[in-house]
Amino acid sequence: MPQCASPPYSFYEVKDGRPRCEGLVEHSLATACVASKVFGERLSSVFGNADVDVGYLLNLSAYLHDIGKASSLYQEKAALLGEGGSMSFWLHHVVSFILLQVAYMRKTDNVLQYAAQAVVRHHQAMKTTQELWGVDSGGMRHLTGAVKGLNIKWVEEVLEAGESRGFINRPHAEVVLEAAGELVRLDDESIARLGEASCRGDLLRENPRLRRLITSVAGAVIVSDIVVSSLRRGGVSHLAEMWMRELPSLRPVAEKCISEAGGVWGNNLG
């Protein structure tokens, strides 16, 4: 039976007796590539007076939107899957948020804080984390396990690849890696407090312009993520089809970005 490359994965399923997967680095590269090429100039033009480099904020958010998947809590489940099974990455976006938020606390650079806010909004069509949390009373326990399970080697691998392509700069890569090292040693109560912050949105409540910036960046990440996932994994979603009709450049850009990412990091989907 064909085997996937080594973790970390962004997607993993067993179908027709075969494992099918997409590497986390590969998916992150392709998503950031699409976001940058399709939405970078648009957002930079609209939010030209922002207090951060909007193009870089978009690149950073798109590239690190799935960094929370680099946790053993998620990745170790691949070996347990049977026919028809697929890996669950529940609350990985909150893990990504926490990682970026702690990086911001270590290096008070607004772009890290804004990226954290955009990343936590990239799932479930921007539903609040509180709405998602209410699905399962074990959510906090699951979250603390995912945070403590962050694999420093995998996080570093993702950061190095992103830095090589210019999606994250060296100082930010270093502080995110330091934050990951701090988080795996943190107690459950401290992790819970960080997770709860993802529900509140205090930063945006009284700043409508910043809210528009962050939701626009999150929207660009959502579109890029879904289009890359749909084209890469097969069975293009209705949303992806609609967006590709509305933005004719989206499909060819996405296909090229996927090809470039796969060429560098390996093509694992059969």
Question: Looking at this protein, which amino acid is placed at residue 13?
Answer: E
Q: Which tokens in the block code for residue 260?
A: 């470039």
Instruction: With beta carbons less than 8 A apart as the criterion, state whether 218 and 121 touch.
Output: yes
| pLDDT values of the chain reduced to their tens digit, one per residue, 270 residues | 235 778 999 999 888 888 888 999 999 999 999 999 999 999 999 999 999 999 999 999 999 999 999 999 999 988 788 888 888 888 899 999 999 999 999 998 999 999 999 999 887 444 444 544 454 446 788 889 999 999 999 999 999 999 999 999 999 999 999 999 999 999 998 998 888 776 666 667 788 999 999 999 999 999 999 999 999 887 668 888 899 999 999 999 999 999 999 755 444 544
The Cα-based distances of 159 to 78, 105, 126, 154, 178 in angstroms read 23, 19, 25, 9, 12
Instruction: With beta carbons less than 8 A apart as the criterion, state whether 136 and 27 touch.
Output: no
Q: How far apart are CA 117 and CA 217, in angstroms?
A: 10
Predicted TM-score of the model (pTM): 0.91
Instruction: With beta carbons less than 8 A apart as the criterion, state whether 101 and 43 touch.
Output: no
Sketch out the chain's domains with CATH numbers. Answer: 9-265 (1.10.3210)
Buried b (16+ CB within 10 A) or exposed e, 196-232: ebbeebebbeeeeebeebbebbbbbbbbbbbbbbbbb
